[in-house]
Structure 1
Amino acid sequence: MDDTKTSLDVEAIKKDFPILSTKMSGKPLVYLDSAATSQKPMQVIDAITEYYKKYNANIHRGIYEIAEEATEKYEESKSKIAKMIGAESTENIIYVRNTTEALNLIALTWAEQNISEGDVILISEMEHHSNIVPWLLLSKRKKAKLEYIKVDRDTGLLNDESAKEKLENKPKLVSITYASNVLGTINDVKKISETAHKNGAMVVVDAAQAVPHMKVDVKGIDCDFMAFSGHKMLGPTGIGVLYGKKDILSATEPIMGGGDMIRSVSRYSCTWNDLPWKFEAGTSNIEGGIALGVAADYLNKIGINKIRSHEIELTGYALDRLSEQENVTVYGPGKNNLRSRAGVVSFSINGVHPHDVASIFNSEGIAIRAGHHCAMPLVTEVLGEPAVSRMSFYLYNSKEDVDKAMAAIEKVKQIFKIK
């Protein structure tokens, strides 16, 4: 990992991403929606093409050369992911479609087998729907209690008193986001995990907005499960990761049967394969796994700490520029707390619906997100807004991109006659 330089060569990085040389609405594309999905470098695109051109074969089955090559590169990608997040081995790494599937898998396996009537499932008000709905469904099935840690609207942080009270109330499971996709808030998941474990809880971390942008260490956090998506970290769609502690995964029964997850089958019984294949039924997303490993290589070559520093600088610059704007409300931790904020900036322009804001941005060639961002309790109940606009940054964004966004805000105000 090369973290020796203090800044990224954004213009050089952009050349690796073919889509960034295209136009939108007739203008050069400015992509500010990486929290939804990241763009893909040519190295990742080439890896997918190379698989289909040169060694397309099923894995873990064939003993011919191209099947062995496919298997080797697929398994090698898991080693890269394990190393990237500090996991002990590939036995901890289960490939799924995305963060959503990973969280649902936990709910339908470990939680289904261990949560009982009256048990408390604890999440926070800043969670993505993917970290709400599986627990909502589970709580109804098992007659468990779903409780929420409150979020302070003004600071964008978890409320300390609420967190302390809820964590000490002996929850059976705590599932928390590492970084909010709306507020950008980076939670102290290590501290939450420590407190939760002291009170007997299992800990799940939604790291969809963290792993692509900052150094993550599952052993340091000591979480029991962690979930994240490949498509948010330069990889393709349809591939995601569920990390789990080996002893927990070993003691958990799978829910999908067939293919790779089987060791033996007789007429009336079967035994499971070793980890992680026990949870990977059927033919895998082979090219997705291989390309995810290439995406990890790309991030490591740039340097994940350098990417984080770049995003801190860019986010601070965006907050400074937004503070110059009248009739604009910004959500999440302020400029004095950048270390607790990821590269996500949500905002509202007074009197203008965020969908209109996004439409005008689109006319300027700028891609941003507008809506509730799959976090309705946070946006509609805590922030009290029907929707908000969001800019999100990554390694291929620059201060010039932010400046273009500010010019688009001025255009919105001009069209809607807002000073």
Structure 2
Amino acid sequence: MNAVPTVLLDVADQVRTLLAPRFPDAAAMFRQCFLNTLETTVKRLPDGTTFVLTGDIPAMWLRDSAAQIEPYVRHAAADDDLRAMVRGVIRRHARYVALDPYANAFNETPDGQGHQDDHTELTPWVWERKWELDSLCHPLRLLHLYWTATGDTEVFDEDVHRMLAVAVATMRAEQHPDSSPYSFERPHPEQPTDTLVNEGRGPACGYTGMVRSAFRPSDDACTHGFLVPANMFAVAVLGHVAAFARDFYADQALADDAAALRAQIEDGIRRYAIVDHPRHGPIYAYETDGLGNHLLMDDANVPSLLSIPYLGYRPATDPTYRNTRAFVLSAGNPYYSEGRHARGVGSPHTKPGQVWPMSLAMQGLTSTDAAEQAELLTMLAATTAGTGYIHESFDPDDPGVFTRPWFGWANSLYAQFAMEVALP
């Protein structure tokens, strides 16, 4: 167990105290969820980097690790050791991205653990090599949040510079899937969504200006190549990349390229990703292929359509987002479920009818309605099956039926939401 900085213990006590009068159950579980990542999944390494497990899987996902430590970042300015821990995650992200920008999860050492039988360009460092656009976006978001919170210029070393350049170059390559160097096949997939169609090349796509993502943040294969919320996430973080390249590295070429790519993706979303829904009006599709096909749904994993304001793409008051949110939180979304104890968004990654607490927390984080937030916080605290921890998914008619008892990202996202309620 890692030593917990005093500043985080103080935050845990403060939030618990503030929540207790209105939300006693949420208050009682806040500390253990808030500190779960730091106490059980963070490993400080001798080289100054930080390795972060997802929880019950012994690998470091770029996406999960960034999201898991996000609740701590806002407090990093107050503690040298906490700053060093977060900076260590960023440095490990930078090294991993340089090793393989198409991989989504990595080993602590080059020991060849993980999915080494997959048909793709593997190295012993890689646990899994599913190309997911958000796997590059989450580390860039973390870097921006850390810089904003601390003003620490030490983080901007040459490894981070390389990460910025490699991220942009990889996104550029995936604007043109027909010439992409990436392919992926799993010889014996447990589910069809564990591998790519078309001999590992994935579904056909037309050029849109957006960036192709082979897999979703759930690690399931995309139905259509352009995952819209991931491209929205890219728009948000590419603005940060352009500023970092210009301000810290005097790399105007990279800054210009990131800005141009951002504009092209934004234009592609506007032209290809908005659908006129008969009930809700103009809404964002979850996926499209640039060939006239759209998938109308949402998934609990982030980036999602529900998370658009959280990603920094559009405010919660944006009319198209409001329409999309109404669709996502309705029976029109095939992965929205209701039961006796909860209602919310699930995922095709788990069996039908399950609700994912992650989506409930995200619904709360993106809500402008205090009553809705209160209902969601109460719902989250009441559906842990008495464990006081957040799970991957649960049966809304019987929360005692759940998946993944140890899931660091879900605990951290709950903590973020609880902090927003307690410390608006």
TM-score class normalised by the smaller sequence: under 0.3
The higher radius of gyration belongs to 1
TM-score of the superposed pair, with normalisation by structure 1 = 0.22
Higher strand share: 1
Higher relative CO (Cα under 8 Å, sequence separation at least 6) belongs to 1
